[in-house]
Amino acid sequence: MVNWGKLLKNGKAMYLAYDQGLEHGPESEFNDLNVDPLYILKIAKEGKYNAVIYHKGIVEKYSNEIKKSKVPLIFKLNGKTKLQSGEPISAQIATVEEAKKAGAAAVGYTIYVGSKYESKMIEQFEQIQREAHAINLPVIAWMYPRGEKVKNDVSREMISYAARVGLEIGADVVKIKYGGNAKDLQWAVKSAGRTKVVIAGGTKKGEKEFLEDAREIMKSGAAGLAVGRNIWKNENPLELSKKLREIIFE
C-alpha cells in the first residue's frame, strides 16, 4: 500500500507542474515572474495544490523554502531537453533515495511509449517503482506516446494504451494528455483500472477553454489535473487556480 498523504483529497488531485525549464527551456516558457521557482511555490501554496512538481536541481537549491511551505513535493526523476533529436528518451537524473531524503511525497518518471528506447525507460521505471513501493512512496508515470509509430499521440488508441501500460507496469498515477474527446478519455480512464489518471494542461490556451476542458476531464472519471503553463503563465494564477479547484473537488 502506498502512502497517499495529501496527494489525493477524496480521491481527487490538483498538481502544479514545473519541469518545463528542462523540458522546453526558459525562452519559450518563462517571463520575469515565472522564471523563479519560488513564484511557483507561492502559487502552489496559496492556490492549495495537492503537490508541486520539481526536478532535482530545484529541489536541492530551494529545499529550505520547499520544506517550509509544506506543499507536498513530487520529485521528478528523469527529464530531457527539447533540443534532443531522434527517438525520444528521458534520462534519469535522480534516485528514489534522493527523493526520500528531500522529503518527497511521490516520485515522477516519464516514459515515451512507442519510442525505440521504450524498454530502457520501462526497465529504469521498474527499479524506481520497486524502490519507491518498498518505502510506500507513490509513483507517478508521465505516459507520453511518441516515436516513429505514433502518428497522433492524443488519439483514443494512444491515450488508452498509455494509461493501460501505466497500470501494467505498476504506476499509482498516470499522467496523460487529453485530446479533446471526453469519450476517448473515459475509455483511457477505464483502461487504467485502479491506477489513477491525471491530465497534463498543455500549451497555454484561453481561460474559458481551459476550464471547459477541465470540466470534461473530471466528468470522464479522471482524478484531476497536473497542470503547469496554463496556470503560471496566467496573469491571475490564484484566481484561475480557485476556479480549477472548484471544478476538480466539487
Residue pointed to by grid coordinates 489535473: 225
Smallest gap from Cβ 175 to ligand FBP, in A, equals 6
**Residue whose C-beta lies closest to ligand FBP:** 201
Can you point out the beta strands (E) in the chain? Answer: 13-17, 51-55, 73-76, 78-79, 91-92, 106-111, 139-143, 173-176, 196-200, 224-227
Q: Cβ closer to ligand FBP: 64 or 99?
A: 99
Euclidean distance between the first and final Cα of the chain, in Å?
27
Q: Which is nearer to ligand FBP, 17 or 105 (CB)?
A: 17
The angle subtended at Cα 49 by Cα 47 and Cα 52, nearest 5°, is 115
For residue 15, the number of C-alpha atoms closer than 13 Å in the C-beta half-sphere is 35
Give, in degrees to the nearest 5, the angle at Cα 193 between 148 and 134. Answer: 90
Q: Is 175 a catalytic residue?
A: yes
Rounded-to-integer distance, Cα 96 and Cα 100, Å: 6
> Cα separation of 36 and 38, whole Å?
5
Which residue's CB is nearer to ligand FBP, number 12 or number 229? Answer: 229
Q: How far apart are CA 78 and CA 23, in angstroms?
A: 10
Shortest distance (Å) from residue 64 CB to ligand FBP: 24
The minimum distance between CB 231 and ligand FBP, in angstroms, equals 8
How far apart are CB 230 and ligand FBP at their closest, in Å? 6
**Residues near 107 by Cβ (< 8 Å), separated by ≥ 6?**
74, 75, 76, 77, 96, 99, 128, 132, 137, 138, 139, 140
CB 161 within 8 A of CB 128: no
Least Cβ distance, residue 55 to ligand FBP (angstroms): 10
Q: Which is nearer to ligand FBP, 19 or 172 (CB)?
A: 19
Of residues 53 and 96, the one with the C-beta less far from ligand FBP: 53
- Please indicate whether residue 144 is annotated as part of the active site: yes
Among residues 144, 161, 177, 196, the one annotated as catalytic is 144
Residues that bind ligand FBP in the complex, under the rule CB under 6 A: 17, 19-20, 23-24, 142, 144, 175, 200-202, 227-230
37 Cβ contact partners less than 8 Å away, ≥ 6 residues apart: 18, 54, 58, 61, 62
12, 56, 175, 177: which is the annotated catalytic residue? 175
Residues with active-site annotation = 144, 175
